[in-house]
Amino acid sequence: MPLFERSTTIECARQDLFQYHSNPGALNRLIPPWEKITIEHRSDSLKVGSEAVILNSLFGLPIRWHARHTELSKPECFQDIQLTGPFKTWIHDHVFESNGAGTSTLHDRVQYETKFGMIGKLGLPIVRSKLSAMFAFRHLTTQADLLFQNFLRQHIGDRILRVGVTGSTGMIGRRLVDLLSVLGHHAIRILRPASKDRIQDFPLSSGAVGWRPGNGFSDNAALQNLDAVIHLAGRGIASTRWTDSAKQSIRESRVEGTQSLVRDLSKLDSPPKAFVCASGVGIYGDRSSESLDETAETGDDFLANLARDWESAAMEFEKSGNRVAIGRLGIALHPRHGALAKLLIPFRLGLGGPVGSGRQFWSWIHVDDAAAGFLFLAANPKCTGSYNLVAPDQTDNRTFSRTLAKVLNRPSLLRVPAFALRLMLGEMADAMLLASTRANCRRLIDEGFPFRTTRLEDCLRHVLGVNR
Domains, the chain, in order of start with CATH, read 3-154 (3.30.530.20), 160-464 (3.40.50.720)
Closest C-alpha among 383, 46, 26 to residue 183: 26
Model pLDDT, residue 58: 72
Whether the CB-CB separation of 365 and 357 falls below 8 Å is answered with no
Q: How far apart are CA 350 and CA 146, in angstroms?
A: 37
Burial class (CB in 10 A: 0-12, 13-18, 19+), 82: middle
pLDDT digit string (tens) for 309-329? 999 999 999 999 999 999 999
pLDDT digit string (tens) for 357-388? 999 999 999 999 999 999 999 999 999 999 99
Share of the chain above pLDDT 70, in %: 100
Burial class (CB in 10 A: 0-12, 13-18, 19+), 292: buried
Q: How far apart are CA 69 and CA 357, in angstroms?
A: 54
Average pLDDT of the chain, as a whole number: 94
Closest C-alpha among 118, 127, 148, 145 to residue 21: 145
Closest C-alpha among 309, 206, 304, 324 to residue 262: 324
Residue 249's pLDDT band, with cuts at 50, 70 and 90, is very high
Query: Could you give the 3-state DSSP secondary structure of residue 174?
Result: helix
Q: How far apart are CA 276 and CA 415, in angstroms?
A: 39
Q: Which amino acid is at 339?
A: A
Residue 62's pLDDT band, with cuts at 50, 70 and 90, is confident
DSSP state of 322: -
Whether residue 193 is predicted with pLDDT greater than 80 in this model: the reply is yes
Angle at 198 between CA 461 and CA 251, to 5 degrees: 75
Q: How far apart are CA 412 and CA 468, in angstroms?
A: 19
Whether residue 122 is predicted with pLDDT greater than 90 in this model: the reply is no
Give the residues across from 82 on adjacent strands: 67
Q: How far apart are CA 343 and CA 348, in angstroms?
A: 9
Model pLDDT, residue 151: 97
Burial class (CB in 10 A: 0-12, 13-18, 19+), 210: middle
What's the predicted TM-score (pTM) here? 0.96
Residue 59's pLDDT band, with cuts at 50, 70 and 90, is low
Q: How far apart are CA 164 and CA 230, in angstroms?
A: 6
Q: How far apart are CA 243 and CA 428, in angstroms?
A: 10
pLDDT digit string (tens) for 397-444? 999 999 999 999 999 988 888 888 888 788 888 888 899 999 999 999
Q: How far apart are CA 35 and CA 354, in angstroms?
A: 27
More confident residue, 431 or 163: 163
Residue 73 has phi, psi (to 5 degrees) of: -140, 105
Residue 72 has phi, psi (to 5 degrees) of: -155, 125
Q: How far apart are CA 315 and CA 308, in angstroms?
A: 11
